[in-house]
């Protein structure tokens, strides 16, 4: 009879181990398919602006209403630009910023969130994430 109890205990332990591993796997798979790297609402619309600091046009690029903020970035031709990605807001594909017509692209990372360039031509240039989900326009005057 004691052996039967031992078998029942080992069976219970085995079942518990299998259940724990199963729960762990289910949670891991769920996180893979439902991660937080999706588009996020971010901050309030219009909170990210272009400012001039020591002759450099500085743009704090974030997210509002599930799209880049600012959506429209007005810059001056020939004046250096520094776009700083707000890593608290930029997630998922929005980290992969590109301005195709200017040949500019940047993957914003926590330790590398600054894009610098000097606009050399006037015009309206679309920007987007690498997947085209987030977008906007740079207007160079």
Whether residue 54 sits in one domain with residue 29: no
Residue 89 lies inside a defined structural domain of this protein? yes
Whether residue 64 sits in one domain with residue 31: no
pLDDT of 41? 47
Q: The domain that contains 97 carries what CATH number?
A: 2.60.40.420
3-state SS class at 108: coil
Residue 41 lies inside a defined structural domain of this protein? no
Whether residue 55 sits in one domain with residue 15: no
- When pLDDT is averaged across residues 65-81 and rounded to a whole number, the result is 92
Task: Check residues 104 and 7 and name the one with the higher pLDDT.
Answer: 104
Whether residue 78 sits in one domain with residue 11: no
Whether residue 134 sits in one domain with residue 89: yes
In which band, very low, low, confident or very high, does the pLDDT at 66 lie, cut at 50, 70 and 90? confident
Whether residue 59 sits in one domain with residue 117: yes
**Number of domains the chain is built from:** 2
Q: Among 15-19, 88-92, 123-127, which stretch is predicted with the lowest mean pLDDT?
A: 15-19
Q: What is the span of the domain harbouring residue 129? A: 50-140
Residue 115 lies inside a defined structural domain of this protein? yes
pLDDT above 70 for 28: no
Whether residue 77 sits in one domain with residue 28: no
- When pLDDT is averaged across residues 88-107 and rounded to a whole number, the result is 93
Q: Spell 104-114 as b/e; 16+ CB within 10 A means b.
A: bebebeeeebe
pLDDT of 11? 77
pLDDT of 18? 81
Task: Check residues 50 and 79 and name the one with the higher pLDDT.
Answer: 79
Whether residue 56 sits in one domain with residue 87: yes
81-85/56-64 β-pairing? parallel
């Amino acid at each position: 009879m004691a052996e039967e109890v031992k078998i029942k205990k080992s069976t219970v332990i085995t079942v518990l181990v299998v259940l724990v591993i199963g729960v762990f796997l289910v949670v891991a798979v769920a996180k893979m398919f439902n991660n937080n790297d999706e588009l996020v609402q971010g901050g309030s619309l219009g909170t990210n602006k272009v400012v001039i600091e020591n002759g450099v046009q500085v743009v704090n690029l974030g997210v509002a209403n599930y799209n880049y903020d600012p959506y429209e970035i007005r810059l001056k031709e020939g004046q250096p630009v520094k776009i700083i990605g707000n890593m608290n807001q930029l997630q998922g594909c929005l980290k992969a910023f590109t301005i195709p017509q200017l040949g500019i692209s940047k993957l914003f990372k926590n330790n590398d969130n600054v894009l610098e360039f000097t606009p050399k031509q006037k015009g309206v240039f679309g920007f987007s994430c690498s997947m085209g989900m987030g977008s906007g326009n740079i207007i160079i005057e």
